[in-house]
Amino acid sequence: MTLLILIAVAFGGIALGWLIAFRGRPGLGWITAAAVILTSLWMRPLLEGEPWEPSLPLGGWILVAFLLAFMLSFGAPPIRCRLVTPILLRAAAPLLPRMSETEQVALEAGTVWFDGDLFSGDPDWERWLQEPPYRLTEEEQAFLDGPVEELCAMVSDWETVEHTDLPSEAWEFIKRHRFWGMIIPREHGGLGFSAAAHSAVIAKLSSRSTALAVTVMVPNSLGPAELLLHYGTDAQKRHYLPRLARGEEIPCFALTEPNAGSDAGGMRSRGIVMRRVIDGREVLGMSLTWDKRYITLAPAATLIGLAFKLYDPDHLLGERAELGITCALIPADTPGVQIGRRHDPLHVPFLNGPTTGKNVFVPLDAIIGGPAMAGQGWRMLMQSLSAGRGISLPSLAAGASQLATRTVGAYATIREQFHLPIGRFEGIQEVLARIGGSTYWIDAVRKVTASAVDAGHRPSVVSAIAKCYATEAMRDVINDAMDVAGGSGICEGPKNILARTYTSLPIGITVEGANILTRTMIIFGQGALRCHPHARHEVQAAREQDVETFDRHFFGHVGFVFTNLARAPLLAWSDGRLIRTPRRKAVLDAKGADEATDADNTQGDSRGDAPSGAHLVRGNALAREYQRLTRMSTAFALAADFAMGTLGGTLKRREQLTGRLADAVSWLYIGSAVLKRFDDEGRRADHLPYAQWAMQEALHRIELALVGFIANLPSRPAAWILRAAIFPIGARRHHGPDDRLARIVGRGILEGGSAHRTLTADVFLPPATELGLGQLEDALIKVIAARKGEQALRAAIRAGTLAASPSATLIERALAAGVIDSQERVLLESAALARAMAIAVDSFSPEEMRAPRTASLDAARARNDVDARRRSTGS
């Protein structure tokens, strides 16, 4: 009996210590457990009914002595720094990763934001939900509703492809309305818009034309304006920024070259500091030689932002002969500059091409920031890219995905097979669910990341996640949409809505950091050191031989690992139920709820739909998702530490492993963005299935990534420990969205309902007379309006009171039989004509196929008018 009591006390002590470790005090936890066990041994005589004496068995005294020595050596920092830490520092230094100068600069770029919470294993959800929401000012919204709508109306994707350029009036409109000055402050002549507005503009433009979106977004992304704002001299800002804002200068930025894509250190473009006599005056400047390619807007640029390596062999600027990567502004009409030729990026006709220069002499004042910034170009670029990468391409992905959702939601509603809309088939609904659910989270990532930039953050890791995973998801969404569209998606012509977006998919995947590199090297490679609470400080302290800093962070790191070792199994067993979820108000105030419902009803009425009413979800409908995501964050943090601890500096070369860890942390961020978007937008009931779909997908992807990581971790003992901690009752708990949810999500984007509209709010909607999306939207409205009559026809056919054949006279026979009335007849005939026009595809004569197809749009319009007249007369 005494033995059982001692065992129970021992387990109680271990449980108490485990709970203390769970709360972030692992050292105190283990000491508490040991103290409870020792005390029980010390009190054993009382349990056995014997006189108690304050003594311990020899083994107990040895254990006490060991604990005291351990506590003094490892628990007292002054003693530890003298006896233990120097030994650990010498042993650890060779194992820590070595970084090149360019890697170090990239690592230091930007700021740590919520990505630090994800690496901590214990995200602060209350603080996360208090981050500023995505909002546009009245002026920004007016710009979207005015000039952006007008610009979209000027451009046809098909015409742009046929003419290999935007219309001249679109170019002039872009300049006149300062589209290239969105990020330039008002005091310099720009619009001074927020990152949220910049993102919204690009999303809408990309729903109309990829070429148009790229033309506008590049000058507002990484380029001369961005660099001038942060690093330019006052004189450079005064001269260039107003001209860039007004479109008097067309900028490009030349970074990539044949031998330097992702590896900027391989750059061969060079500048030599020298003196040259110009107009009888000696000028200190640079002789530049470069060969750049893939440069957007280069064929039309008047101002070239150039990255090159600067050398000072004669030491005219100082003692250093090799100054490093430098950025300068070169007028395109400078002697020696060659520009104007074009690349053809998959027939997506945005201006893109090479630029070269040979012995181009410019004064040192051409360096952005002046001579003092010579050699600082890579740092400038990385700091600018740390935020900008999270705006433009995620916005393009959001716009393209919304266009796909809008298109397939309408097409699957009006297109019928086997006498049913194809959206009624579960196979189609499964694909529609992937399209709608992915579009929801892509837009969540876009909005949350843009809001972070507006709040003053420059989150380099989060920006890389947003760019990489949003563009990859866009590829999946468009591929799925092409499957639903079928033949209408693959037949080129002005009626085809998706073809140009489909063709342009690899562009977003490739630019601003190729996704393969971003996933395998940047997100986790930089994130592990950048966002981990201790790793970066350990590496820096080891490099500088700073014993005290290394001691503080090394032992903090050890405690961090043991905390997560204590947390991970408990969270796995409970499926996260030990985590407290953020407290939310039961519901928005009545005024807010009424305004949301009224806005939704107004939108529905304006499009001819029945009002749906945007209900608001009471309480925290996604409480379990917060808990599960915290559990996965703890698992990821533990896996990251095991990776760094077992592989050390070799980890950055194990790109398959770092890629899986990148997947895990990226889907953690995606899930977090979904939770925040759902909360920020008032917890709408019509959005709840999409948020649930996205969360189930995120949890599934995180689990897959961690399972794959553990299965391939080289140290098998470490893998066994990690599996026992993270998946003590087995993996595969999260299987992704189930069939029931997929059906709900898939059906939600059909029939022009609330979700169909609100999930695609950034899509430009052309007039009903326009081939393609305009006709499709018109057909959707008319088909929905005729639903009552269609249901009456089908009921009569099933009842046997109306014969299905011949179909050409079905409506007339139904009217004569009293199945429908005259108003329903008009609606049915109008819907039939609109449906036929919307599902028709383009065709061309042999002469049109052989000739330059600049006239094919007019020919297609003429054929469309003839077809409409023929169908309206029944001939």
So what's the pLDDT on residue 37?
62
Residue 433, pLDDT > 50, answer yes
- Token code pair at residue 464: 């890389």
**Pair type for strands 281-296 and 270-278:** antiparallel
What sign results for the dihedral spanned by CA atoms 759, 762, 766, 771?
negative
Fold match between domain 106-131+392-532+573-583+602-758 and domain 138-386: no
* Six token digits for residue 136: 């546009």
Q: What is the mean pLDDT of residues 819-838?
A: 91
User: Do residues 550 and 77 touch, judged by C-beta distance below 8 A?
Assistant: no
C-alpha–C-alpha distance, residues 290 and 293, integer Å: 10
Question: 138-386: what fold?
Answer: Butyryl-CoA Dehydrogenase, subunit A; domain 2 (2.40.110)
Q: Which residues pair with 257 in a beta bridge?
A: 260
Mean pLDDT of 51-60: 58
Are the CB atoms for 706 and 642 separated by under 8 Å? Answer: no
pLDDT at 531: 84
What confidence score (pLDDT) does residue 88 get?
Answer: 77
Alpha-helical regions (H) of 320-454 = 377-388, 392-414, 426-454
Beta-carbon neighbour count of residue 531 at 10 Å?
Answer: 25
Rounded to an integer, the average pLDDT of 192-210 is: 96
Using CA atoms, how far apart are residues 181 and 577, in angstroms rounded to an integer?
A: 49
- How confident is the model over 310-321, as a mean pLDDT? 92
Is the pLDDT reported for residue 609 higher than 60?
no
Strand partners, 281: 278
Residues 462 and 393: beta-carbon distance below 8 Å: no
Residues belonging to the active site: 512
140-171 confidence digits (pLDDT tens): 999 999 999 999 999 998 888 888 899 999 99
Whole-number pLDDT of residue 593: 35
Cα angle for residues 494, 775, 769 (degrees, 5° grid): 85
Instruction: State the CB neighbour count (10 A cutoff) for residue 147.
Output: 18
Domain-wise residue ranges, the chain? 2-75, 106-131+392-532+573-583+602-758, 138-386, 773-873
When pLDDT is averaged across residues 263-292 and rounded to a whole number, the result is 90
Banded model confidence at residue 561, pLDDT cuts 50, 70, 90: confident
CA distance 34 to 60: 11
pLDDT digits (tens, 9 = 90+) for 547-556: 788 878 787 7
Q: Which residue do the tokens 């430098």 mark? A: 326
Structure confidence at residue 512 (pLDDT): 80
The phi and psi torsions of 725 (rounded to 5 degrees) equal: -80, -45
Query: How does pLDDT run across 850-863, given as a tens digit for each residue?
Result: 665 555 556 666 66
Q: Position of tokens 């022009």?
A: 752
Tokens representing residue 57 in the block:
């068995």
What is the average per-residue pLDDT within 533-543? 79
How far is CA 753 from each of CA 334, 607, 611, rounded to the nearest angstrom?
57, 10, 9
Residues whose CB falls within 8 Å of the CB of residue 542, separated by 6 or more in sequence, listed in order: 89, 92, 93, 96, 550
- Which residue in the block uniquely carries the two structure tokens 């807010």? 592
Report the predicted TM-score, pTM, of the whole model to 2 decimal places. Answer: 0.88
Joined together, the tokens standing for residue 234 give 């006052």
What are the DSSP calls for 158-170, one per residue? Answer: HHHHHHTS--HHH
Rounded to whole angstroms, how far apart are CA atoms 682 and 596?
Answer: 9
pLDDT computed for residue 605 by the predictor: 34
**Mean model confidence pLDDT for the chain:** 85
What kind of fold does domain 106-131+392-532+573-583+602-758 have according to CATH? Butyryl-CoA Dehydrogenase, subunit A; domain 3 (1.20.140)
Q: Which tops the pLDDT comparison, 605 or 58?
A: 58
Give the range among 159-163, 203-207, 493-497, 584-588 with minimum mean pLDDT: 584-588
The predicted-structure confidence for 341-381, as pLDDT tens digits, reads as follows: 999 998 899 999 999 999 999 999 999 999 999 999 988 88
Which residue from 775, 785, 750, 773 is spatially nearest to 836, judged by alpha carbons? 775
pLDDT tens digit string along 207-237? Answer: 999 999 999 999 998 789 999 999 999 999 9
Q: Which residue has the higher pLDDT, 40 or 620?
A: 620
**Cβ neighbour number for residue 780 with a 10 Å cutoff:** 27
Please name the residues in contact with 306: beta carbons below 8 A apart, sequence gap of 6 or more.
Answer: 253, 254, 269, 288, 290, 292, 327, 328, 329, 330, 357
Strand partners, 288: 271, 360
The yes-or-no verdict on residue 603 having pLDDT over 50 is no
User: Which pLDDT score, from 0 to 100, does residue 860 have?
Assistant: 63
The most distant pair of C-alpha atoms in the chain lies apart, rounded to whole Å, by 112
Name the range with the highest mean pLDDT among 189-203, 534-548, 584-598, 726-740: 189-203
Q: How many residues does the chain have?
A: 875
187: CB partners within 8 A, 6+ apart: none
Q: Which residues pair with 251 in a beta bridge?
A: 303
Please give the pLDDT value at position 565.
Answer: 87
Omega before 569 within 30 of 0, i.e. cis: no
- pLDDT value for 859: 65
Q: Flag whether pLDDT at 703 surpasses 70.
A: yes
Hey, CA dihedral for 484, 487, 488, 491, is it positive or negative? positive
Give yes or no for a contact between 660 and 708, defined as CB atoms under 8 angstroms apart: yes
HSE-CB for 125 with a 13 A CA cutoff: 26
